[in-house]
Amino acid sequence: MNFTPLARPYFALRRRAILEWTASRQGIERAQMRELRSLLQQARDTEAGRRYGFAEILLSPDPARAFAAAVPVAGYEDVRPDIMRMVMGERDILWPGRTLRFAQSSGTSGGKSKYIPITDAALHRNHYAGASDAVAFYLGMNPHSRLFGGRSFILGGSYANEVANLPPDVRVGDLSATLIAEINPLVNLFRVPDRRTALMADWDKKLPALVEASLHADITNISGVPSWFMTVIEKVIERAGANTIHDVWPNLEVFFHGGISFAPYREQYRRLTDPRRMHYVENYNASEGFFAAQDTPDAEAGMLLLLDRGIYYEFRPLDGGEAVGAGEVEQGRTYELLVSSCNGLWRYSPGDTVRIESAVPLRISVAGRTKSYINAFGEELMVHNAEAAMAAACRTHGCEVADYTAAPVYARADGSRGRHQWLVEWRREPASVTAFAETLDRELQRVNSDYAAKRAGGIFLDGPEVRTARPGLFETWLAQTGKLGGQRKVPRLSNSRELMDRLLEMNNSISDIQK
């Protein structure tokens, strides 16, 4: 039975409401001020509330300005001590009561894991509500959708974690594990795989189980990280002896994706699907919150920021200027994102930079990471530049990338100039890696004027060096660092050589053994 016509009026009502109050700066500011006041009121009696004077801020004629003056911007290491107290069972620290769920996240850099509180409020007011908004936007874009006429295939992680001596009632694991475990049981009627399979920790066993669970299901939509879902889809096609995934799942119509850029994978998904029947919807959902969802068929238009879902947003200019509110951002400008949320994070930087694609309504795109860039030679290469150039080079050479990372090689005393070194694991290798590198260089110059200036005449910066990674190298590294799974992320750009040197060492040692 197709339940989509029954569900559509509910989602249409929500979509209309969102679009009405995001149609002006005044509406955006009012929505965000309601969120800030609500968050401060709820947390006023916590340790954080007393530390920063939330009660006094609420009495201020300008709570937003008073809040920014009283609360310092925080990264994870600033709040780690408080969060670990919460993990160990202490109450009323950053958010009222005890928090029993934490999302273990590695982000895209650093060796230590982060543990992000998933309070009841964050779970229901933000994560589940944000996913519901993404569905509302999709149904609004696709009036003939049969989304609820079959099953959802949600790819997630597990509760595997690194914390010793956890209190018995506290759960730590991937965000997706919590979302799957706590979801309304009625949703299981529309979802695969079953809960036990979805939460399996051993991916060597989980992958074939996912294939078997979905092989004969009527899948209408899939949700997950593009790189990992690619592996699942290929295995399903192989198991079924099919040519495309639509031969197996004829009613598949949409991929809700996020976590990493879709650009390098778009052509690969075109190859594995029937493009005439497939839609792709980007969501910005992190462990710290469900921030934004695509509300228009034009993927280049960005994602609509969800302004009434338990999060107060600020945007800090990359030059270190004062942060501004959602109603004050400038179109076309890139900011560091700051969030204050019903998970107890206050003026917290998830480490992401966002570009304002539209100020009214407020649509953003993820530009990259505050710590994932290359600026060794004044080129200021950001992740969105790299993703765009890589995708264009792949189209030109008919190749496909599984994963990659890049880092600088610095000038030496022998007179050699600096350059960027790219380590690429191919799904389909180009006929000439050298020619690919030349195209990549041209595309990087096209999308980044600073890079182009440094490359001019080959005086300051040599062209990029592209090296081939052995199959499975990045998965091996991810497994060694505890990052393998549905939420996996490979750092795209690094301003140091620490990661690159480690990967090259692994690549060379395996190559030597194979020889």
Q: Per-residue pLDDT tens for 397-416?
A: 999 999 999 999 976 656 56
**Kind and range of the H or E element at 277?**
none
Q: Per-residue pLDDT tens for 380-396?
A: 788 888 999 999 999 99
CA distance 68 to 369: 23
| Peptide bond before residue 264 is cis, with ω within 30 degrees of 0 | no
Beta strand pairing call for 324-325 and 303-305: unpaired
CA distance 501 to 495: 12
CA distance 234 to 221: 16
| Peptide bond before residue 430 is cis, with ω within 30 degrees of 0 | no
pLDDT confidence band for 514 (50 / 70 / 90): very low
**Kind and range of the H or E element at 133?**
helix 129-141
Q: Are 404 and 492 in contact (CB under 8 A)?
A: yes
Across all residues in the chain, what is the average pLDDT? 90
CA distance 225 to 178: 16
Q: What's the average model confidence in pLDDT over 415-420?
A: 79
User: How many Cβ atoms are within 10 Å of 466's Cβ, its own excluded?
Assistant: 22
Q: Are 326 and 356 in contact (CB under 8 A)?
A: no
pLDDT confidence band for 425 (50 / 70 / 90): very high
Q: Per-residue pLDDT tens for 158-207?
A: 888 878 899 999 999 889 899 999 988 888 788 999 989 999 988 778 88
User: How many Cβ atoms are within 10 Å of 353's Cβ, its own excluded?
Assistant: 24
| DSSP-derived secondary structure for 15-71 | HHHHHHHTSSHHHHHHHHHHHHHHHHHHHTTSHHHHHHTHHHHHHSSSHHHHHHHHS
Q: Per-residue pLDDT tens for 18-56?
A: 999 899 999 999 999 999 999 999 999 999 999 999 999
Domains of the chain: 24-101+302-369 (no CATH), 122-286 (3.40.50), 373-514 (3.30.300)
Q: State the number of CA atoms in the 13 A half-sphere of 513 facing the CB.
A: 7
Q: What's the average model confidence in pLDDT over 65-83?
A: 96
- The answer to whether the Cα torsion of 394, 399, 401, 406 is positive or negative is negative
- 189-203, 366-380, 465-479, range with greatest mean pLDDT: 465-479
Structure tokens at 456: 């001019």
Beta strand pairing call for 171-173 and 101-105: parallel
Residue type, 270: R
pLDDT confidence band for 456 (50 / 70 / 90): confident
Q: What's the average model confidence in pLDDT over 256-278?
A: 85
Identify the pLDDT of residue 483: 57
pLDDT for residue 228 is more than 70: yes
In sequence order, the 6+-apart residues with CB closer than 8 A to the CB of 70 are 52, 53, 56, 57
Rg (CA), the chain: 23
Return the bridge partners of 221, or none.
Answer: 152, 254
**Global pTM exceeds 0.75:** yes
Identify the pLDDT of residue 489: 74
* Higher local confidence (pLDDT), 108 or 434: 434
